[in-house]
Amino acid sequence: MSHNDRMIICGGGPVGMVAALSLVQQGIPVTVLESFETPPQDPRAATIHPSTLEMLHKLKLAEGIIKRGLKAPAFQFRDRTTQEIIAVFDMKHIADETDFPFAVQYEQWKLTRDAIVAVKEYDIADIRLGSAVTAFSQDYDGVTVVYEDPAGEMHKVEGRYLLACDGGRSTIRIGLGVFMSGFTWEERFLVLTSKHDFAASDGYLNRNYVMDPTEWMAVFKVPGDDDQGIWRTLFPTEGHEKDEDLLSDEGVTQRIRGARSDMDHNDVLHRNLYTVNQRVADRFRVERIFLAGDAAHLNNPLGGLGLNTGIHDCMNITKKIGDVWFGRAEEDVFERYHRQRHQLATEFLQSVTIENKKRIEEKDPEVIKQNQQQLRENAEDPAKAKTWLMRSSLLDSVRKEETIE
């Protein structure tokens, strides 16, 4: 096979593996280079929105996810002090817009695992786990990528294009010198996972946002390793708090007691701390190299949009790669990928996630009152609820994408 008969993907996380599946299903040979030998099971993305389910359905991945995941047909906003349920957004209001009027709670490592299994069905797929990309170059007709195997041996692989799905610290983006415009929040987010059943004890749904001026929370149920259900609680931290204090038994007890006063660190299965960025790469395409997922944009996790938009990126670029590969389009269509996905990441993804964070942490009592009133009105009026849900489920964003030339 000549060197330009193959796509190379750097990073076999959820976005890279879904991209690989989309390419092999079109008949395009793919090599995926992934530094981990087994995907990490850290508690990151868990909410798959209707727009993404539509895309995963086309790849024949959605049915398994719906079967094994937890359906979330509604989500809740609460006030932490009063425990009052402020608003419940019911996705039935978008049932006339999508075949999937619900989100599904399904851990991202399971999505990655499912995609790997599906990709391996194709003999044009070549997945190389334990392969860390260290260098790359491109010329007029192809790309060359160098990687290190677990034994420390260096290898070289050539392809026609390179898709960088190598996450927030993307080796490819940094190597290209592409800047990530935006900022990093001073506080980090702490995720505590427990088996405590927040639905039975407090009437939580599978997705909940708890507003509070000093310490808000997000509460989510995910299937867990044994599919019996575990609960993730997400808290903000203060910029000055040290990692060792936040992750200590005392620190964990103090936070989890904010969720329920009868819990302590013994109830917590996992504790994870995340840096939170709001950044978008200045370029999503540099000639034969494309950035997708966290390699291209980072945002706070409120609203569960990072992975979903990453999958939207990869579905967009893999369709265009297919069009060019099989002679249905010229390479200038790749500039449209940059224009579409960069604009949506800048205008939509950043504003929605920043809005979500500001709303949940608002400190001014008057603004809190207005926000809560607005949430109630939006949830109760079917037309307003539909507008809200079209935006939060990313269906609007996908439709807008088609209009960007």
Ligand X SMILES: Cc1cc2nc3c(=O)[nH]c(=O)nc-3n(C[C@H](O)[C@H](O)[C@H](O)COP(=O)(O)OP(=O)(O)OC[C@H]3O[C@@H](n4cnc5c(N)ncnc54)[C@H](O)[C@@H]3O)c2cc1C
Binding site for ligand X (CB under 6 A): 10-16, 33-36, 44-47, 108, 132-133, 165-167, 171, 189, 191, 274, 293-294, 301, 304-308, 310
**Min CB(108)–ligand X separation in Å:** 6
Beta sheet of 47-48, edge-to-edge order: 47-48, 103-105, 70-72
Considering beta carbons, is residue 97 or 294 the nearer one to ligand X? 294
Considering beta carbons, is residue 87 or 234 the nearer one to ligand X? 234
- Contact (CB, 8 A) for 232 and 192: yes
Considering beta carbons, is residue 28 or 163 the nearer one to ligand X? 163
Considering beta carbons, is residue 9 or 263 the nearer one to ligand X? 9
Structure tokens at 376: 């109630």
**Min CB(259)–ligand X separation in Å:** 16
Cα–Cα nearest to 306, from 339, 336, 271, 279: 279
List CB contacts of 158: < 8 A, sequence separation 6 or more: 3, 4, 6, 8, 142, 143, 144, 145
**Min CB(345)–ligand X separation in Å:** 11
Structure tokens at 338: 């940059």
Considering beta carbons, is residue 86 or 305 the nearer one to ligand X? 305
> Would the CA dihedral through 72, 207, 232, 18 be positive or negative?
positive
**Min CB(299)–ligand X separation in Å:** 8
- Contact (CB, 8 A) for 379 and 92: no
**Min CB(290)–ligand X separation in Å:** 12
Considering beta carbons, is residue 29 or 167 the nearer one to ligand X? 167
Report strand pairing: 189-194 vs 180-184: unpaired
**Min CB(44)–ligand X separation in Å:** 3
List CB contacts of 50: < 8 A, sequence separation 6 or more: 91, 94, 98, 100, 101, 102, 103, 393, 394, 395
